[in-house]
Structure 1
Amino acid sequence: MPAPDKIFGMASPTTPPEDPDDWGTPERAPGRWEDDEDASSARKRWSGALNAVFGPLWNDPRGRPLLLVSGLALLGICALSCFILSLVLLSERPGPFPPGPEIAEATRPSVTDEPTARASDALVIRVNDVIQPAPAPSRLTIGVSTYRLVPMNVQGARWQYDPGAQKTAFWVPGTLVNYVVGLHASPENREVVESLSVGDLILLDTNLGTQRYRVAQKETIRSDDVETLLAQNSPRLTLVLLGEGGDQRRIVIATFTDESTPNQLTAIGTPINLGDVRVRVINQRLLPGSAVGLPAGKSYVQVDFEVTNVVTRILDASQFFSEIADVAGVVIPFSRQASAAAGGRGFPQGALQPGQTITATAGFEVPDALSGPNLEWRFSLDKTSPYIAKVAIPYRPIALPPTPAPTRAPVAEVTILNAQISPEGNELRIVGNVRNLTGQFLSGSLRDVSLSGPDGQLYPLNSSLPAFPWNITPGETLVFQLSFARPQTSQPVVFTLFGQSYRICEPAQPCD
């Protein structure tokens, strides 16, 4: 197609120069999309505008420094704005620790990211106007490994903890009956958990003293099985490995035990851990000398006990040693003849295999003038061991029965350790212990326990751990959990067990 005739400027006999904007022949015209023309025009307009503003300044040598200083100032203002924006964004981060492994929520009422409720809504307990502090944990001991305990930051369905913290365990706040404790799955902590066996001892130090737990089972659960982890239905400790990944989670469940420690005087029925063995007194009795062929003024005291080998090597039971002492400090060693008299099982002898439990009798020949009302029974692995089990043994010389006291003495000592509303909100759960103060078995049934309101109405007992009936041996302490229907009242309620009553109040209630 012939180029259109256009005239630029004044007429001249010479051929005008080609304008690049002129339409040429198809052979000379380069390929271009329709919007290329608009983009080219826009670039030219911007270039012309910038040249009109800054061209005179740049062309003038005296104006160039001003132009450079202005550009640098604009660049500095942009950099400062970016820095301030970064500080604001960092200050709004939720916490210093990276989010830990997720535990699925028990319920998801909405899609908003709200913190879930604690595993249990612990009450501030006031028993007879005395505030009972919650037993918050501070240290965990597994074998020779000791960990400080710190609360975890629980947000939504996630556990937030510091995986780099050394010798630290993480406690789920609010779990006070079933203590839920997490350990980061480092190689060292995995080795500690994998080395645990059924029956191993775990110690939990709280602000109310040391609590003892024995490993009952090890299992693997789904990562979202929150109900198993956080259930507050029985006194125990649940140990969780954190950060293993996957949809499975390894846990260790250790049940509460009221066992004692060496060199501390304990009651009959309380297990005592001596390191290599665990020993527990079952019963005691006094045999009159006339019934077993002893001379006048002599009798036999027999103590039935069981001993368990808790280590992996064979123990020589013939090295075991036992003695008794009265309040005046008179010490009497055991007698093998007294241990087997009148149907006694005899003192242990021979090999005690790993995990084996034997029941034996330690017998002692005592004078009738031996001081009472209690004797101290002692047991150790050998005669030189510094770790000694000590048990208070009731002792009363053979005599005529005393005249009954005119008033009835208390048969039990009841202590409340904790009271809380269940996670579902429909039960009041009371945890405590009861010690038999009598010299005979103490039976407990539904008739011995009640929860009543201000008008005398009774609230039903939903469940009890252990289940009724109870049979508590003399001097033994039994740990219990009783779950009642939650009282629907704004006034304190009265809990009664074995004739001993306690007022229990929620924080907003008067407890006068």
Structure 2
Amino acid sequence: MTNEPQQNGPAENGRTTSWRESLSNPAVLIAGGIALVALLAVVVLSIILWQNGDDEADTAVSGTPTPFNSSNDTFTGEALVVGMSDSSTISVTLDVPVTLGLPGQQFNVQTQIIGADGTWTPTTDAAEAGTAVWVYGSIVNYVVGLPDSEANRALLEGLAPGDEMVLATRGGTRFTFSFNNRSTVPVTNRDIFAQNSPGITLLLLGSEGNERLVVNGRYVVAETNNAGGSVVNLGETAQLENVQITVNSTTYIADRPEIPPGFALFLVDYQIQNVGLTALDSGNLQLGLVDSLGNQYVVSPVAAQLGNFPSLAGFLNANQVTQASAGYQVPLGLESNTLSWVVTNRSSGAQVYVSLPFTGGSAVAEGLSISLARVEVSTDLTSLILGGQITNLSTQP
């Protein structure tokens, strides 16, 4: 029993001495300090993240929901698809209409989307006076619905030839249409949504029965535009503010497999130069085509791919010169001695007009020389066989 304290004493002294020696070692002190700092950092970050989570939760449930329909301004669905085939998808940004002006009456315009099944179920209240509804995506033939009230019915029934309808967009552009015709169609008629030619279609919403009143207007090219804008011919240079544009050539194509039956393509090859001191966003330039009857045609990205140059896109730096092509889909039998190529600055509204000779349609037949060499009747008397030669006398293929 007297030996046990003697054996345990040295061991305890050794452990105490080793611990004190470790504390006096600088490496151990540094490692301990780093571990302590790391632990404090973890604790602080955890507290911050926990507080942020509470703030986000409070934000998500606080406030009063807006009473406005979000579909009137912003659309998060699929992009509008424009093209002649399913080979490509082209997204475009629409200039949404905001007001509609009729003789003696002006309407605020809301925007609504037709469902995937093609059924339009307007939500405009018939008692909401002064409000119209535009079908989202109808940018060639603008389809606008008015509540079926006695005042609106009398207004549409009173429209006469020469009366104008003015549609103003959020971007400041004003489109003028002239009364063309009035009819009554079944409520299930979807032809009113057709986008074949520029114009406007007004219809009464919520009509009782199986029919509703429809008014069609024709797009009007204002004469003041031609007077105020610069008009040049093929090969001449037009000045549009800080931009110089020269159309070098045009091409008429009617025999490509991707062209829908009954249509042809008209291509415009041009040169554009930014003579300003800052870069120019080419997206601000609207390129349109107008025939002698006032029909307006929008750019077809698929048609532009057949041009000699790529489509205009992106920014033009100061003094930069580039070659580009614009393509349009026109009716195969279009009769127009000239076409007007209109370039518009969306921001300022300034325009230039380029008068282009049109050799398509019936003009193509005038440039052909047909020689008949032989005529034969088949032995079974069921066929007439013609033989000869056709020569293209024009400068277009």
Alignment TM-score, normalising by the size of structure 2? 0.40
Structure number with greater Rg is 1
Q: Hey, which of these two has a bigger chunk of helix by percent?
A: 2
